[in-house]
Structure 1
């Protein structure tokens, strides 16, 4: 597929990713959280690019940046294309942003075809996919899907600023957040291109992959309680060392998950009292659990929690487990997945690689209001959420071709059904 104008080339998409990386709260590294001046700066860059592509732009009352072009007649339901514009702290420059900029380029590539499309095209740059500022991910896409929770307005960031006050400072009206919600009948579906955030495409020497499902995830806080006593005066037989028990829990979690298809990670541990000469009396850790299906995730949860209880009891420790987050697995809609597969085939890959996404994405939230599907793009060494995040121009060019072809495949499907 030949680029129509330079703005639809992989070179331009990557140059725009570089320009966006300057929009940061910190000059030394990329950090662009929800409702920050850095996010506003990113909007000021992306909005003119959307307008150049022919999109009518607006920012909804959740803070998402949106654009729309009409199809063969005004007011048709829209096919959403996009990803997110916020980042984690010390981020790479492609997670989320690449998908938004590919979507803009696809719309412009199809400029001569808009009048033939049986739907409108919309691009959305979601905010707060990462959840790094207020601790609740996907707030932008949840607002669009109509699943906003007003309890979030009272959440505070590390500086004590409430979400409601941050929204007002960003130029939003919390009372109008409901206007960001879309109706199911106004949408055709949602397609997202995203770096893989894993090594499977690179290991298979493939540029692109078709996502089958987005992981079902659950997060826990695991509190192990023993007894803090003098490190010198307490014999081993009398110790109830919470940290040693937690260490056994960590190795058990890894060993058990590695033998399955699930993924479990202890990402943080805090120990009390934390003195060099005191047997630890309390250890609190996080546990992140993911699997391709809810059934696999739930089975692994039962296995892990039973094993953790048994390990702690054997050491005279008590354990308390609290679930802090749960998200169901999100299967990609077969008909949209077929369109993405057709897009990859159009690039010359006759047997596209199918992968389940171990990471979460905005599609998990958008699935509450419309069908979703995803295209994965090879990422060097699978590194993500890190400044070393890198993609190759040849893979971005393939993604641009595949994403464009996928939109046309969706158009053929919708027109055929009509």
Structure 2
């Protein structure tokens, strides 16, 4: 495959898009290039208000709903048709980068603004959305805003607490949301016809191919667990090894087993991560009594993922029994792999054919996105933009503005096709 080269000049405004991305990156900035903009925080609210202003500049009517989503609307000629929803998120990880999610929101705004400037009018209504709390790191449950508008929130989600003991309910209220309007903010069945999302790849494939953009064919199925082990504390100097109920040792064995299971097939794209672990009482000379840790298991092959999951649960039973520790396991997220709609992929390919001299590279997404939630109720499609070395969820996350502009141009041309836009 040759390197993608634009066949014609871009219609979108590169300078305007880059300026907005740089400006947004300053809100919650950490280190030289990183961002900490946790969902429903004051930094998130500042960012939402700034993005809302850009939506208005693009000619969109705006609202912030009861889930914390920012939504901009452009009514089409026939508003009775199912809408085209486009967007992503602007919240970040606590130690995150400046392009994760943001290019999908600002790129969608730029696409709409370009459509207006070029004299187009969509047949279908277009809504641009910045979803609330995609990341899930503050309350240990992601895709909140996208699941909220689909009436897919689970019991007790508003009672989840962050590390400071603040509930999601309180955070939403502090954000200015009216929780009494949640039911009316759910989109009626059939209202959303299709969903488009542009995102940095968060992986190395495009970078290794030396390609600026790519077509996503589907999203791997994630399984998120929170595991709590309860042993018995004792003096580290006096309790014999054979008498111990050490919760941290049991956790270490489970974590090691998880990695072993995820690497059984070296050619499989299975990934497994323990990204968070807490030990109590967390003292040098006390045997750990209580350990809590997270598990993130993902695969595009659901049969393989479920096989690994079964083996993991069996191993946890055996390890906990051997160490005489009890366990509780909470499922935080569980979803099957979701494949992009053929019709939307064909539209992205057609837009790419008109823009580039070579066909788009195609790939699956390991990370999940708001598109994963949306896929449960409508067709969806995704565009990936190259990120350097595949680094993401890290202040060193980096993407070229030229690549983002190419991705936005591809998004713009796809939106013209999906919305039935015509020159006024």
Distance 1:335 1:245, change over 3 A: same
Hey, what does 1:163 align to over in structure 2? 168
> In the aligned structure 2, how far is the partner of 1:268 from the partner of 1:77?
41
Cα drift, residue 373 of structure 1: 1.5
> In the aligned structure 2, how far is the partner of 1:165 from the partner of 1:274?
30
Distance 1:385 1:349, change over 3 A: farther
> In the aligned structure 2, how far is the partner of 1:51 from the partner of 1:237?
67
Hey, what does 1:114 align to over in structure 2? 120
**1:19 pairs with 23, 42, 55, which one?**
23
Deviates more, 1:228-237 or 1:71-80: 228-237
> In the aligned structure 2, how far is the partner of 1:363 from the partner of 1:338?
17
Residues 70 and 76 in structure 1, CA contact (< 8 A), matched pair in contact too: no
1:373 aligns with 2:381: yes
Q: Secondary structure at the match of 1:255?
A: helix
> In the aligned structure 2, how far is the partner of 1:279 from the partner of 1:161?
30
Q: Secondary structure at the match of 2:208?
A: helix
**1:335 pairs with 306, 324, 343, which one?**
343
> In the aligned structure 1, how far is the partner of 2:171 from the partner of 2:282?
35
Residues 184 and 370 in structure 1, CA contact (< 8 A), matched pair in contact too: no
Residues 10 and 400 in structure 1, CA contact (< 8 A), matched pair in contact too: no
> In the aligned structure 1, how far is the partner of 2:247 from the partner of 2:174?
44
Distance 1:204 1:303, change over 3 A: farther
Q: Deviations over 1:351-410 (max 9, x none)?
A: 433222221211122223322121111111111122111101221122022112222343
> In the aligned structure 1, how far is the partner of 2:331 from the partner of 2:136?
14
> In the aligned structure 2, how far is the partner of 1:169 from the partner of 1:268?
27
Q: Deviations over 1:62-110 (max 9, x none)?
A: 2211112233345543211101121121321111111101101111222
Residues 183 and 369 in structure 1, CA contact (< 8 A), matched pair in contact too: no
Q: Secondary structure at the match of 1:267?
A: coil
1:2 aligns with 2:6: no
Distance 1:263 1:10, change over 3 A: same
1:388 aligns with 2:390: no
Residues 212 and 386 in structure 2, CA contact (< 8 A), matched pair in contact too: yes
Residues 250 and 323 in structure 2, CA contact (< 8 A), matched pair in contact too: no
Distance 1:44 1:317, change over 3 A: same
> In the aligned structure 1, how far is the partner of 2:79 from the partner of 2:237?
78
Hey, what does 1:136 align to over in structure 2? 141
> In the aligned structure 2, how far is the partner of 1:199 from the partner of 1:347?
23
TM-score (normalised: structure 2): 0.85
TM-score (normalised: structure 1): 0.86
Give the number of equivalent residue pairs.
409
Distance 1:338 1:259, change over 3 A: farther
Hey, what does 2:213 align to over in structure 1? 208
> In the aligned structure 2, how far is the partner of 1:236 from the partner of 1:36?
46
Cα drift, residue 411 of structure 1: 4.6
Residues 243 and 271 in structure 1, CA contact (< 8 A), matched pair in contact too: yes
Hey, what does 2:105 align to over in structure 1? 100
Q: Secondary structure at the match of 1:134?
A: coil
Deviates more, 1:384-393 or 1:106-115: 106-115
Distance 1:217 1:395, change over 3 A: same
RMSD over equivalenced CA pairs, Å: 2.9
Q: How does 1:270-285 map to 2 (within 5 A)?
A: 270-280=278-288, 283-285=291-293
**2:370 pairs with 349, 354, 362, which one?**
362
> In the aligned structure 1, how far is the partner of 2:314 from the partner of 2:343?
40
